[in-house]
Structure 1
């Protein structure tokens, strides 16, 4: 998956992402205000992908929430904290 991301902040910035970073950015954009929890949408390394996107200037909020079950603990919920426009192969996603 190869996408073009435009951060709609002042000043706006455009860059390309592919592979898992492109997938992660797309998932965050689709989720919108609902956000994405690593436990609901398993991926090998959500935290690493979010870290790399933050290094590129993408603002992402993280909220820790508890979970129960056989292995209780906490998981992260990620939400875009900026407005973005995403295009894939010349079409908007």
Structure 2
């Protein structure tokens, strides 16, 4: 884990009450927020289980589109690009370094 990684994220989704996301779910949602319309791919933002994080966030009411893209190279094929469609207001961000300082 990088000391700059997001480990806790407090947000309001679609203007509803504040929600807290932790761990990789917080990291994933923050990456999607930063990427805006460009979206994120596991190729550009490496993480072990992108599809699971997106699946879980969707179960929490976050609207995320999946766009299938092709790629070349020695292992040509397809990959997903995830684009956040929900309106998300960030209220609080905690990074790994913040957690260590508080302990």
TM-score relative to the length of structure 2: 0.80
Per the alignment, residue 25 of structure 1 pairs with 29
Question: What is the CA distance between 1:38 and its match in structure 2?
Answer: 1.5
Partner of residue 93 from structure 2, selected from 81, 84, 88: 88
Q: CA RMSD, aligned part only?
A: 1.1
> Runs of 4 or more off by more than 4 Å in structure 1?
none
Per the alignment, residue 10 of structure 2 pairs with 4
If you compute each CA radius of gyration, which structure gives the higher value, 1 or 2?
2
SS of 1:22's equivalent in the other structure is helix
TM-score relative to the length of structure 1: 0.88
| Structure 2 unmatched ranges of 5 or more | 1-6, 95-103
Richer in helix (by share) = 2
Partner of residue 76 from structure 2, selected from 61, 72, 75: 72
Task: Give a deviation string over 1:5-49, Cα, whole Å, max 9, x none.
Answer: 21025xx24211111000000000000011111111111000000
